Amino acid sequence: MYIYADESGHSGRHIFNEPLFYFQGAIISEIDTEPLLNEVAEKYKFELGVDRLHANEIKPHLVERIATSFLDLLENIKWVFHLTVIEKPYLSVTKFVDSLFDSYENKGARWLWYNHEFFRHTLCILFDDLLFEEDKKNFWDYYLKDDFTGIRSVINIVLQRLDLISVDKRLHQVATEGLNFALKYPDEITLLASQTKKSYKEHTPNMVAFSSLIQAVHKFCKENNTKPKAFVHHSQSEFGSTMREYHKIFQKFRLEHNSSGLGLQVDQVDYDLGQFSLAMSKQIVSLQAVDIFLWLSQRNDKIANASLKNKLLDVTESFYISRLSSEIIARGWLYKLSKCDVSDEQIDEGKKTIEKMEKIHFEKIGDFLEKQ
């Protein structure tokens, strides 16, 4: 199988700069799409008098025409268009939760509230409300500098606001206890963004998206019993070496969300991710096709051809990080719960489980305090 990837909305560490959304697109295919797309691409390049097909330089109705031709050619092979969309400022919120509520580090954070996606996203929504734009910018700056003194100032602001708003009693308790524990025991919180000159890169939209792409490749391999041969990303200077490192580190590990919403399942695979390379889109037709699909995905509501819109949607697998995606995940779990036929016995058993988890939580805190 072959992977061709490109990006739009590049930001690096500057997640509050326009545009506020980062997009990454990739063709993941059972065969090499280069020879398949090359002839029709050459025809359009000759017709337009250009040396590459770049959506921003082509009139929209022609972009749609080219995309339709590409999709028609790909119709009879197994492939997906993997799309990652990241609301860049929201990364500051997710890092706030990841840094301060990881229950393996913060003994005051409830295990379930960090390790189940419903509760984790509920925390993200809460702190997105409590952190104003300036607070998010300040936290992100302190986070990249590993500056806990600065982070402490943001936590204190959040705690003050938390006491002033009406919020679910349990949510208030979990948030307050977790933040106060972090304030009291800052050495338990791991901050590594400034460990080396390039370590900040791992936390940027670019590398978060690249990580999601690697797992999408593993998913395709599992579903189609294939192994990667080539992995090509559009050339760019800032993240090239970090992408190579990620490609090497994560090529043997497939991560999957548990259907219960609890954590991730990690499986070791018996293949690697193929040869990784960075290339200019001018030389790679498949990267030009990714650019076309990515441009259309960003303007989905403006696609005039309804058939094209549906065709592109049918082959797109999406991964989102945003306030809206957190809300959708949380609402999805509430809807799923509302449809469950829960017996009185199961409710009683659930209460016992909660009591057991609370006991374990406080025993863990007690053991920690004894060692201090």
DSSP class per residue in 163-189:
TTS---HHHHHHHHHHHHHHHH-GGGS
Question: What is the per-residue pLDDT for 370?
Answer: 87
Q: Average pLDDT for residues 222-244, to the nearest whole number? A: 92
Phi, psi (deg, nearest 5) at residue 275: -75, 125
Structure confidence at residue 275 (pLDDT): 94
Q: Where are the beta strands (DSSP E) in the chain?
A: 2-8, 21-29, 79-87, 230-234, 253-257, 264-268, 275-279, 316-321
Q: pLDDT digits over 23-70, tens only?
A: 999 999 999 999 999 999 999 999 999 999 999 999 999 999 999 999
> In whole angstroms, what is the distance from residue 285 CA to residue 53 CA?
8
Span 137-153, average pLDDT: 96
For residue 197, pLDDT beyond 80: no
Is 329 in contact with 257 (CB distance < 8 Å)?
no
The CA-CA-CA angle for residues 225, 208, 131, to 5°, reads 140
- pLDDT category at 200 given cuts 50, 70, 90 is confident
| CB 309, CB 300: distance < 8 Å | yes
8-state DSSP, 299:
T
pLDDT grade for 301, boundaries at 50, 70 and 90: confident
For residue 300, pLDDT beyond 90:
no
pTM for the full model? 0.92
Per-residue pLDDT, averaged over 129-138, amounts to 97
Question: Rounded CA gap, 77 and 165, in Å?
Answer: 54
pLDDT for residue 143: 96
| The pLDDT value given to residue 227 | 94
Do strands 230-234 and 253-257 pair parallel, antiparallel, or not at all (unpaired)?
A: unpaired
For the chain, the residue count is 372
Q: Is 292 helix (H, G, I), strand (E, B) or coil?
A: helix
Q: Kindly state the percentage of the chain with pLDDT values over 90.
A: 79
